[in-house]
Amino acid sequence: MVIVTYNVNGIRAAVSKGFIDWLSEVNPDVVCLQETKAQQDQIPILEFKQLGYNSYIFSAERKGYSGVAILTKKQPDNVVYGMNIPAYDKEGRFIRVDYGDLSVVSVYHPSGSSGDERQAFKMQWLNDFQDYVLELKKSRPNLILSGDYNICHKPIDIHDPVRNATSSGFLPEEREWIDGFMKKGFIDTFRFFNTESHQYTWWSYRANAREKNLGWRIDYHLASMALEPNLKRSVILPSAKHSDHCPVLLEITG
């Protein structure tokens, strides 16, 4: 199974930049989308269907904001929309599909870059997300948590760790959280296969950051430890340019 995670920064904008042709070419089995910024009737479900995908969509209540979706060629046994926490579910941040004993999640963690209030919201989310996932893992031990975490884990994951040390997304408390979360039973699948530097998934639109590869690695496939024997490869796909993010691909066996 090939799973792609992709923050598209607006699905309609991504489609206008060739996303559907790219999807047809890469042809993954499952696509976890974040920041769709669209209601269900604004998402090209028919075009995805023509490529063989069923679309499961969890939009934010606020139009043009947030939102997650999963496109899948394999029919899931079960789909869960949200975490049953209204403050988060109204922002459309979590959707899960189950295939037998495997669960795949598309998750869009909040950004705290707009100010103190949203940073506090982000930190509360991180605590609640961890509690939710650890409880979920008791009944669904084979979990893949794919999405935009809005956190760089280590200095290798950001182009300028010194000057960004006080930036949301690389704050000590955020890095401590993601480190602790992984230590509770999750594998950073990209780093499982790749240890080289200058591997990023997001670039600012300013100052030609993408052309200079001045980026951040904030998009992940985190897999539960139980899936370690099934991990086959994980790669970042920076040539896809439908967003300020790029996709990350994970292939698993079984």
Tokens representing residue 222 in the block: 């985190």
**Distance (Å, whole) CA 114 – CA 34:** 18
Residues 108-140 have pLDDT tens digits of: 999 999 999 999 999 999 999 999 999 999 999
**Distance (Å, whole) CA 223 – CA 103:** 10
**Distance (Å, whole) CA 60 – CA 39:** 8
**Distance (Å, whole) CA 106 – CA 31:** 9
Residue of 57, 120, 113, 61 whose CA lies nearest to 86: 61
- Does position 254 have pLDDT exceeding 90, yes or no? no
What CA–CA distances, in Å, run from 122 to 34, 47, 173, 184? Answer: 16, 34, 11, 20
Task: Give the number of C-alpha atoms closer than 13 A to the C-alpha of residue 233, restricted to the C-beta side.
Answer: 5
Residues taking part in catalysis = 148
- Does position 42 have pLDDT exceeding 90, yes or no? yes
Average pLDDT, the chain: 98
Answer for the pair 188, 182: CB distance below 8 angstroms, yes or no.
yes
**Distance (Å, whole) CA 56 – CA 152:** 28
Q: Hey, what amino acid is at 161?
A: P
Domains of the chain: 2-252 (3.60.10.10)
Answer for the pair 73, 85: CB distance below 8 angstroms, yes or no.
no
Which class for 50: exposed (0-12), middle (13-18), buried (19 or more C-beta within 10 A)? Answer: exposed
pLDDT of residue 193: 98
Residues 166-223 have pLDDT tens digits of: 999 999 999 999 999 999 999 999 999 999 999 999 999 999 999 999 999 999 999 9
Tokens representing residue 19 in the block: 């996303």
Residues forming a β-bridge with 248: 5, 236
Q: What's the pTM? A: 0.98
